[in-house]
């Protein structure tokens, strides 16, 4: 089931990151009667508006799917998540096929559209991963690129002030992608399997 509450939360967080500026009248020396009403512009930067419009598009496109579709087939795609922790730096690298993209309608999308949808969802969604509060981790960088499979390779870099408290990692990837499982690999030889009903990586359990 699609987690619309998660998408709504991300949309609110995106709005919270913007500067709340009042509408202002475009500066003009004189307004002729034939020109109609003066133009109004908002104080939102173009990049912020891009993020907001993407969040709105995702929420609206997924809303018909919130109650489930009895004719939809179960997820068959799986992804691989590489976890690397070195000192205070945590890097997460996800490899996923294009077929992991969520279907926006009954039509079968092209591979190019699937990759575009995945790149947008993974790059502009905040809070995909969650960490223990004591670890005090924050995101420094994210990059999502197409792969040769075809699919995507997404990389997130985090800085954790207290990595000794990093004993688990939660994820919302199953809400963003059509996956039945995620295989987690962490050097030197640790492996886990995450599923939609248990999307939390617990280091102490291995």
Reading the chain (206 residues) residue by residue, the pLDDT tens digits are: 445 455 555 545 554 454 444 434 444 334 344 444 344 344 545 554 555 555 544 444 444 343 344 344 567 789 999 999 999 999 999 999 999 998 776 577 899 999 999 999 999 999 999 999 999 999 999 999 999 889 999 999 999 999 999 999 999 999 999 999 999 999 888 899 999 999 999 986 44
State whether 156 and 185 are in the same domain: yes
Same-domain pairing of 83 and 138: yes
Q: Let me know whether 56 and 113 are in one domain.
A: no
Would residue 70 count as lying in a domain?
no
User: Residue 121, by phi and psi: left (phi above 0), alpha (psi -120 to 50) or beta?
Assistant: alpha
Q: Which residue has the tokens 């009667």?
A: 33
Give the CB-side neighbour count of residue 60, counting CA atoms within 13 A: 6
Whether residue 87 sits in one domain with residue 61? no
Do 134 and 58 share a domain, yes or no?
no
83 Cβ neighbours under 8 A, 6+ residues apart: 90, 91, 92, 169, 184, 185, 186, 201
Asked if residue 10 and residue 54 are part of one domain, the reply reads: yes
In this prediction the pTM is 0.67
169: left (phi over 0), alpha (psi -120 to 50) or beta: beta
Is residue 94 domain-resident? yes
Structural domain including 170 reads 77-205
């Amino acid at each position: 089931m699609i987690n619309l509450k998660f998408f709504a939360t991300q949309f609110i967080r995106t709005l919270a990151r913007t500067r709340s500026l009042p509408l202002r009248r475009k500066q003009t020396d004189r307004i002729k009667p034939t020109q109609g009403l003066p133009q109004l512009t908002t104080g939102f930067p173009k990049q912020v508006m891009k993020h907001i419009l993407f969040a709105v598009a995702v929420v609206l496109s997924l809303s018909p799917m919130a109650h489930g579709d009895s004719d939809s087939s179960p997820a068959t795609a799986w992804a691989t998540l590489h976890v690397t922790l070195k000192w205070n730096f945590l890097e997460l690298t996800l490899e996923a096929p294009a077929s992991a993209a969520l279907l926006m309608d009954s039509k079968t999308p092209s591979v190019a559209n699937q990759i575009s949808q995945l790149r947008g969802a993974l790059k502009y969604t905040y809070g995909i991963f969650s960490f223990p509060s004591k670890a005090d981790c924050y995101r420094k960088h994210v990059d999502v690129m197409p792969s040769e499979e075809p699919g995507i390779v997404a990389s997130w870099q985090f800085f954790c002030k207290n990595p000794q408290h990093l004993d688990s990692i939660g994820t919302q990837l199953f809400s963003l992608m059509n996956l039945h499982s995620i295989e987690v690999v962490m050097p030197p030889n640790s492996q886990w399997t995450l599923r939609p009903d248990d999307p939390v990586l617990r280091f102490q359990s291995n």
